[in-house]
Amino acid sequence: MGIDYNTSTLSSSYKSPLTVRVFDSLPGNPVSIGIALAIVLLVVFLAGRALFGAAENSSTDDLRVAITQILITAYSGSAYAYLLMTARKSTRDLSAVARDLPNWSTIISRAGKHPWWILLLVGAANYLVIGVAVTNATTPEPVNPWEWQTWNYDVFWHRITTVVFVWWMACFSYVTVVESARLSRVSADIPSLDILDMRPYKPLIRQGLTNALLVFGMVSVLSLLAVESRYYLALLGFWIAFTVLAWIGLMLPLRGIRKKIKAARNQELDWCRQHMVMSRDALKSGENVKQSIAEVTAYRTLIEKTGNWPFDSLTLVRFTLYLLIPLVSWLGGAFVERGLDFILS
């Protein structure tokens, strides 16, 4: 059954998120824009800190958390925009095998687009559930984290950046799953597949690896919060949740094509069995054999060696290496902590 892309009022609500439109309007790619955003935010933060003499009323712990959350904010926004841009490209790159699908133009136009109200609900719900809970759990007692009169300059930045990056993280997680599911459905609707030529489906593998890389990048920047022991429990939850998300992001885009490969593989193996019987019977009866038993056997061996997934072991090796990124980030965070302690002392 194909995808229902009927034009309706709901369809008109699919637009590029504001974050993507802003990133599209700026020169450079999401990586360079994210780096520039981090630099700008750090400059503004440090300049304001010096201007208002905030160092007198702030602790080293507050400063470290503020700097870390600025980096998390910059990364989450750029990762969100980058994922949607690559999802658009991956959908377009499937045109060689999917352009004959019904409503292909609608599929292309909707790639990387989502109803604004869904993103609004996802972001708000994530902040109210996760953001508020983490803020409460990581604020030392007996301080009330919501009494803004008690906030110093650094804590003010904590609260503002938490709203922004938790919002972006929620939207990032949502579009990772939704865009992956879209690609899976598109590939499942492709009418035919050559099991011996999987090159047209490389965009699905590329998108899956991109999803996983961006998710583990998110885990890595969050791991910088490990400079403060009060974040350990929250980070454990983030690590588990994002590892699951990374696996979903890798495998879900390939789910539809996996079913096609499995069906095509079984069909070819059935053909081999039928012709093996025919060749055997022809050989016994002395008739001319169109395909020799050796040829059919060789072809069957070739088909049996093809897996049900359109990737090789190298893809899984790359995914495994991505798992090490958060560990490297955690070690980097430890060096940053020591460096900050040395500078501030």
How far apart, in whole angstroms, are the C-alpha atoms of residue 165 and residue 73? 5
Percent of residues, the chain, with pLDDT higher than 90: 32
pLDDT computed for residue 149 by the predictor: 82
How far apart, in whole angstroms, are the C-alpha atoms of residue 119 and residue 106? 21
Q: Answer yes or no: is 320 within a domain.
A: yes
Helix (H) or strand (E) holding 191: none
How far apart, in whole angstroms, are the C-alpha atoms of residue 150 and residue 134? 19
Give the chain's domain count.
1
Percent of residues, the chain, with pLDDT higher than 70: 85
SS3 308: coil
Q: Answer yes or no: is 294 within a domain.
A: no
Maximum average pLDDT range among 169-173, 193-197, 338-342: 169-173
Q: Helices (DSSP H) in the chain: which residue ranges?
A: 9-12, 18-25, 30-51, 60-93, 95-98, 104-110, 116-126, 132-138, 153-188, 202-223, 232-251, 255-285, 293-305, 313-322, 325-344
- Select the more confidently predicted residue: 220 or 121: 121
Q: Answer yes or no: is 50 within a domain.
A: yes
Q: Answer yes or no: is 270 within a domain.
A: no
Q: Please work out, in degrees rounded to the nearest 5, the angle formed at the alpha carbon of residue 179 by the alpha carbons of 176 and 181.
A: 105
Q: Is 324 a residue whose pLDDT tops 70? A: no
174-183, 251-260, 289-298: which has the minimum mean pLDDT? 289-298
| Domain range for 160 | 9-262+313-344
Q: Answer yes or no: is 288 within a domain.
A: no
State pLDDT tens for residues 4-36: 444 444 556 788 899 999 999 999 889 899 999
Q: Answer yes or no: is 4 within a domain.
A: no
Q: Answer yes or no: is 303 within a domain.
A: no
Q: Answer yes or no: is 279 within a domain.
A: no
Tell me which amino acid residue 101 is.
Answer: L
52-66, 199-213, 305-319: which has the minimum mean pLDDT? 305-319
Task: Quote the pTM value.
Answer: 0.83
Residue 93 burial class via C-beta count within 10 angstroms: exposed 0-12, middle 13-18, buried 19 and up = middle
State pLDDT tens for residues 257-298: 888 888 888 888 888 888 888 777 776 676 665 567 778 888
Instruction: Name the DSSP letter for residue 111.
Output: T
- Please say whether the beta carbons of 55 and 344 come within 8 A: no
To the nearest whole number, what is the mean pLDDT of the chain?
83
Q: Is 314 a residue whose pLDDT tops 80? A: no
